[in-house]
């Protein structure tokens, strides 16, 4: 699954620089996660870094973007190829 930032976000700016895929960007009201770029840090870290640093715990799994580990790994490989 991709992750989702809820409206509990306080715009503290700590999650965006932690995302290795550049999936987190400022939205109109709160930060947003691009589900096409979010791999839950698969391929980079053991746990999603944005969740690790979020002081208000407002980054749950996105129920609209259900993905298994194989899909997250495939997305990671696609993103790495695009960077090369």
- What digits encode the pLDDT tens for the residues 40-56? 999 999 999 999 999 99
**Does residue 45 sit within a domain?**
yes
- Domain of 65 in residue numbering reads as 16-83
Q: Give the total number of structural domains in the chain.
A: 1
Q: Using 50, 70 and 90 to split pLDDT, how confident is the model at 84?
A: confident
CATH number of the domain encompassing residue 41: 3.30.70.20
- Average confidence score pLDDT of the chain: 96
**Does residue 48 sit within a domain?**
yes
Residue 1 predicted with pLDDT over 90: no
Tell the residue number behind the tokens 């965006």, with chain if given.
Answer: 16
pLDDT at 83: 83
pLDDT at 12: 96
Q: CA 67, CA 82: separation in Å to the nearest integer?
A: 20
pLDDT at 48: 98
Any long-range contacts for 9-18 (C-beta under 8 Å, 24+ apart)? Answer: 9/56, 9/58, 10/55, 10/56, 10/58, 12/55, 12/56, 14/53, 14/54, 14/55, 15/49, 15/50, 15/53, 15/54, 15/59, 18/49, 18/50, 18/52, 18/53
């Amino acid at each position: 699954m991709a992750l989702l930032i809820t409206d509990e976000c306080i715009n503290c700016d700590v999650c965006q620089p932690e995302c290795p895929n550049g999936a987190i960007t400022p939205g109109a009201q709160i930060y947003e996660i691009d589900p096409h770029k979010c791999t839950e840090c698969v391929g980079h870290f053991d746990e999603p870094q944005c969740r690790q640093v979020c002081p208000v715990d407002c980054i749950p799994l996105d129920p609209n973007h259900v993905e298994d580990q194989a899909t997250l790994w495939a997305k990671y490989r696609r993103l790495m190829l695009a960077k090369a």
